[in-house]
């Protein structure tokens, strides 16, 4: 794997100023709630009066394969697909999945990474070795202006269910201040997708992600 020794970085705030649209790419494995997170973000953007295009590529999602979502937000958005090197933010629900979508991140963009590992069948069977975390994070840190890496799965477990990890990551995204709309709209959008009996648990997960990243960013 080739990793450039040096890449000119552009401050994230400047990247946002230069971008006509705001582009997000999310990657995880089947069952992690990737598509739900993209729907929540899209709904919040619509509530803000912005135009949204979103699409998910499922692959072998039911078998734990990679799931990638593209979300594009702006005043005028045509294609739902984010081109290589044009994502303002990439979000990896699993550390190797974050590395998988690095090609989409623009120089000076933002990367949010769940450092928890999910071993594919090949690794479980001993046919392959899972890469070291530092080897997965290093190329991301080279390209991104800011890389936020933390164990979102652990925070989800503290909230009452590991299945709320995607909502922890949604709260983390809100805490960065990167989104082109108010974080209140994200919380409001949760109500459109989360059943009432699970809402409090997921709201707690959202808050844990939000507070964790606020602490990291200072």
pLDDT along the chain (218 residues), means of 10: 42 48 95 94 96 82 75 92 97 95 97 92 84 93 96 97 97 96 94 95 97 91
Q: Half-sphere exposure of residue 170, counting CA atoms within 13 Å on the CB side? A: 33
- Domains of the chain, by residue range, sit at 19-217
For residue 64, what pLDDT is reported? 60
Sign for the CA dihedral angle at 193, 100, 72, 204 comes to positive
Distance of alpha carbon 176 from alpha carbon 82, whole angstroms: 21
For residue 217, what pLDDT is reported? 86
> What end-to-end distance do the CA atoms of the chain give, in Å?
34
Q: Half-sphere exposure of residue 57, counting CA atoms within 13 Å on the CB side? A: 11
* CATH, range 19-217: 3.40.920.10
Provide the 10 A C-beta neighbour count for residue 209. Answer: 29
Distance of alpha carbon 71 from alpha carbon 209, whole angstroms: 20
């Amino acid at each position: 794997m080739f990793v450039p020794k040096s890449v000119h970085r552009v401050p994230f705030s400047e990247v946002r100023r230069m971008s006509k649209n705001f582009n997000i790419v999310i990657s995880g494995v089947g069952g992690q709630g990737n598509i739900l997170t993209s729907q929540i973000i899209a709904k919040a953007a619509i509530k803000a009066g912005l135009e949204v295009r979103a699409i998910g590529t499922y692959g072998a999602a039911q078998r734990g394969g990679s799931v990638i979502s593209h979300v594009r937000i702006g005043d005028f958005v045509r294609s739902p697909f984010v081109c290589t090197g044009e994502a303002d933010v990439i979000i990896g629900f699993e550390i190797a999945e974050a590395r998988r979508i690095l090609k989409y991140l623009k120089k000076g963009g933002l990367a949010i990474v769940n450092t928890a590992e999910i071993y594919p069948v090949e690794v479980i069977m001993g046919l392959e070795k899972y890469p070291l975390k530092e080897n997965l994070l290093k190329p991301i840190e080279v390209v991104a202006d800011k890389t936020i890496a933390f164990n979102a799965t652990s925070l989800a477990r503290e909230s009452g269910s590991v299945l709320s990890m995607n909502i922890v990551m949604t709260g983390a995204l809100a805490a960065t201040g990167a989104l082109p709309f108010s974080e209140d709209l994200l919380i409001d959008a949760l109500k459109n997708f989360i059943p009432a009996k699970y809402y409090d648990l997921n709201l707690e997960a959202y808050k844990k992600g939000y507070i964790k990243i606020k602490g990291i960013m200072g």
